[in-house]
Amino acid sequence: MEFVVADLRDANSLLESGATEGINAVISCLGTTAFPSARWKDDNGPENTDFVAVRNLVNATKKTAPDLSRFVLVSSVGVERTNQMPFIILNAFGVLKYKKMGEDEVKNSGLPYTILRPGRLTDGPYTSYDLNTLLKATSGTRRAVQVGVGDTLLPEATSRIIVAEAAVQCLTLPCTLGGAYELGSTEGEGPREDPKEWTVLFESASASSS
């Protein structure tokens, strides 16, 4: 594993770092807190983190990664429901607006993409300034996965473990190409690392929305 340091808010910094040079896949987990916090220090608010940085990453990838097989963007539920509760509150400082703008950059890029929209995140690392961090919330026995299409799902919570596995699976699952999926955690055993079970989940969600 190779670590590269770059300021994704600065297009030149990202290009000069060589982070995207010749890569064949991207999983972008860029994001910040929905409400003002220490994470916003030094211009790291929603606009720069969820939109500008994503746009720069997309553009750098287009320029330097001709063999890219998939760009997976982790976004959020509610990006298409900012006029509904509880997303009106969550979007009070524009986080969902800018996440949607980041999504649009990916969708319009011409790159092969998949977008994941989890609900409120549980499980570590507890890096945010929110209730999840305060309570050290875990998914516990909620290992089964809810998948939705069309930004209609309203999951109570989504395990970071599930989001991470879904993102990795989407790198190679043909059925998720060009799709946007909501993710939630629920009681039961989940698909874990089984690509066949993940395929069933994603295909079932797509079929139920058509």
Split at pLDDT 50, 70, 90, the class of 142 is low
Total Cβ atoms within 10 A of residue 41: 8
Domains of the chain, start order: 21-209 (3.40.50.720)
Answer for the pair 176, 114: CB distance below 8 angstroms, yes or no: yes
Q: Which helix (H) or strand (E) holds 74?
A: strand 70-74
Q: What is the pLDDT of residues 18-61, one digit of tens each?
A: 999 999 999 999 999 999 988 899 999 999 999 999 999 999 99
d(CA 95, CA 27): 19
Q: What is the pLDDT of residues 160-208, one digit of tens each?
A: 999 999 999 999 999 999 999 999 998 888 898 999 999 999 999 999 8
